[in-house]
Amino acid sequence: MDGTEAGPRVLPADPRLRPVANRVLAGQRLSVADAAILFESHDLLGIGGLADWVNRRRNGDRVFITANQHLNPTNVCILRKTCTFCSYARTPREEGAYTMSLAEAFEEAAVVRDTPVREFHIVGGLHPRLRLSYYEDLIRGLKERHPGVEVKALTAVEIAHLARIEKLGIRETLLRLQAAGLDTMPGGGAEVFASGVRRTIAERKLAAEEWLDVHRIAHGLGIRSNCTMLYGHVETIPDRVEHLDALRRLQDETGGFLAYIPLAYHPDHNELGAQLGRTGTATTGFDDLKNLAIGRLFLDNVPHIKTHWVMNSMKVSQVALHFGVDDLEGTVRRERVYHEAGAQTPEWTTYAEIVRIVKDAGKRPVERNVRYEEVRAW
Ligand code: SF4
């Protein structure tokens, strides 16, 4: 008995949340108005209690973990000057710019031979001259060198960039990557879909409909993916709700999203942080937990809600396991993108530590593959 039949361990005290709670308990879908009320409320424990109940009904006490390695082949990006929230990208001649040769990428991947890596997570900048063949060779080469390891690679923004420089369609680009061994896609690049926000933080990036369309096409090819929202900068509550609603509508259509990951904006070393006069951690633990819990409640058709501990910290992420979250990311080694933006967390952690964190929260660690199939349980 995991307690789910008895109802939530905590119910909202905020009277405005009672009709929302009733809908959750009746298994009804929440409206965009409900989502706005959830974001406006400060009843974090009540929201978290509902999200925890929904999660336990779906996943019991399982928490998915993975032994993964991040690989960021280049930080050179043609949008360096217009993604004002980004601390990672460089122009080709800027100090700190790097692009890995295939040999260097394979060497970096080989560093973790001592731990059981099962997934490579590959994202990077939009390099003006790295061709599709580089990524095909990278994925193929990784799979040859690490049999059994799966590849989650290239955001919708990177896919669209490669399609453009190759003068190919999105579908053809994805088919070539799939033939090379691409298993799934990460969910980055969505930021916040609202056009006003995009104009401020990512003016020349893929428009919302284009981002959604890349994922729609990928799902049609059997390439499942994750979805994200970058929060904690200039977006409003209606912007957040509109974004989540667009993700939910695409998921109704394709069923291709595996996990939703709210991404906390980090303000160090980027233009937006300077404009907003912020340094250090921009988001609060309160807002981090709320975003995760509301993701669980509103995205009733997305099976997994992931906390990215590199951004949220391991302490907040562990608590999030009781706020509707069923995925604690993985060992990660070694993360670059958020550390450039001031993340104070370690760049990776050990498998044993992840297992300990989950067990210490009274949950059961389950190692997954990229499709969330169980590999090993503890
Ligand atoms: S967010 Fe992505 S696309 Fe934008 S500048 Fe950074 S690396 Fe490039």
Angle ∠(361,366,370) on CA atoms, nearest 5: 125
Ligand 1 within 6 A of CB of 86: yes
pLDDT score recorded for residue 311: 86
Ligand 1 within 6 A of CB of 80: yes
List the beta strands (DSSP E) in the chain: 62-66, 68-71, 119-122, 150-153, 184-185, 224-231, 257-264, 304-305, 327-330, 364-368, 374-377
The domain made up of 29-377 is a member of CATH 3.20.20.70: yes
Q: Alpha-carbon distance 43 to 329, whole Å?
A: 27
| Closest residue to atom 1 of ligand 1, CA basis | 86
C-alpha of residue 326 to centroid of ligand 1, in Å: 28
pLDDT (tens digit per residue) in 207-261? 999 999 999 999 999 999 999 999 999 999 999 999 999 999 999 999 999 999 9
Ligand 1 within 6 A of CB of 89: yes
Long-range CB contacts (within 8 A, 24+) of 16-25: 16/40, 16/41, 17/41, 17/43, 17/46, 17/47, 20/50, 21/46, 21/50, 24/50, 24/53, 24/54, 24/297, 25/50, 25/53
Q: Alpha-carbon distance 223 to 124, whole Å?
A: 19
pTM: 0.94
C-alpha of residue 79 to centroid of ligand 1, in Å: 6
Angle ∠(323,253,18) on CA atoms, nearest 5: 35
| Closest residue to atom 2 of ligand 1, CA basis | 125
Q: What is the DSSP letter of 39?
A: H
Share of the chain above pLDDT 90, in %: 80
Mean pLDDT to the nearest integer, 166-195:
98
Which single residue is written with the structure tokens 């997305």?
302
C-alpha of residue 43 to centroid of ligand 1, in Å: 35
Return the best residue to mutate from 79, 159, 200, 211 for the ligand 1 pocket (most ligand atoms within 8 A of CB). Answer: 79
Instruction: Decide if pLDDT at 322 tops 60.
Output: yes
Mean pLDDT to the nearest integer, 52-68:
95
CB 208 within 8 A of CB 246: yes
Instruction: Decide if pLDDT at 1 tops 60.
Output: no
C-alpha of residue 13 to centroid of ligand 1, in Å: 41
Nearest atom in ligand 1 to the alpha carbon of residue 155 is 2
Instruction: Decide if pLDDT at 334 tops 90.
Output: no
CB 327 within 8 A of CB 62: no
pLDDT (tens digit per residue) in 131-147? 999 999 999 999 999 99
| Closest residue to atom 4 of ligand 1, CA basis | 83
Return the best residue to mutate from 74, 75, 88 for the ligand 1 pocket (most ligand atoms within 8 A of CB). Answer: 88
CB 320 within 8 A of CB 287: no
Ligand 1 within 6 A of CB of 54: no
What are the strands of the beta sheet with 327-330, ordered from one edge? Answer: 327-330, 62-66, 364-368, 374-377
Share of the chain above pLDDT 70, in %: 93
pLDDT score recorded for residue 22: 97
C-alpha of residue 331 to centroid of ligand 1, in Å: 24
Question: How does strand 364-368 pair with strand 62-66?
Answer: parallel
Give the least confident one: 29-43, 97-111, 346-360.
346-360
For residue 343, name the pLDDT band (cuts at 50, 70, 90): low
Q: Alpha-carbon distance 83 to 243, whole Å?
A: 18
> Where along the chain do its domains lie?
29-377
Instruction: Decide if pLDDT at 338 tops 60.
Output: no
C-alpha of residue 80 to centroid of ligand 1, in Å: 6
Mean pLDDT to the nearest integer, 331-343:
62
List the beta strands (DSSP E) in 265-363: 304-305, 327-330
Nearest atom in ligand 1 to the alpha carbon of residue 78 is 8
Question: How high does pLDDT run on average in the chain?
Answer: 92
pLDDT score recorded for residue 2: 46
Rg (CA), the chain: 20
Instruction: Decide if pLDDT at 328 tops 80.
Output: yes
